[in-house]
Amino acid sequence: MASPKSNTDILSAAIQGFEQQKLLIDGQIAELRAMMSGDVDESPAAPGPITKTRRKMSAAARKRIGDAQRKRWSPSKDQSVAPSPATSEGSKPKRKLSAAGKAAIVAAVKKRWAAKKANREG
């Protein structure tokens, strides 16, 4: 059975969630009432959820971070393994289908379709 403390924690979390929903709904109601009365006020009566603003970073700071990142990764890129000759382009000629091979495939397909047609009709 759950302990009383965990029940209290769950209930308090549920209350906080419902209060946030109530604030949002109150704000939306205030906006609708303002539209009905003709007062178009962009700010809702109740404050909405608080959003964090992103910090601005200077171009010099971004450059320093990028340079440090490249410096960290350069040793591992220098040790990278060269592609094996089997997977590199140009190592094997492209395979081509001969006329006899193509004719054999076409004949087999026609035979398969003929058998399938015969099974449907008969």
pLDDT per residue as tens digits for the range 16-60: 999 999 999 999 999 888 888 876 555 555 566 677 788 899 999
d(CA 83, CA 74): 18
Task: Output the pTM of the full model.
Answer: 0.28
Average pLDDT, stretch 70-84?
Answer: 76
| pLDDT for res 92 | 81
Instruction: Summarize the confidence of residues 89-106 as an average pLDDT.
Output: 88
Residue 105 has a pLDDT of 97
Pick from 103, 110, 107, 106: nearest CA to 118 = 110
Is residue 77's pLDDT more than 60? yes
SS3 28: helix
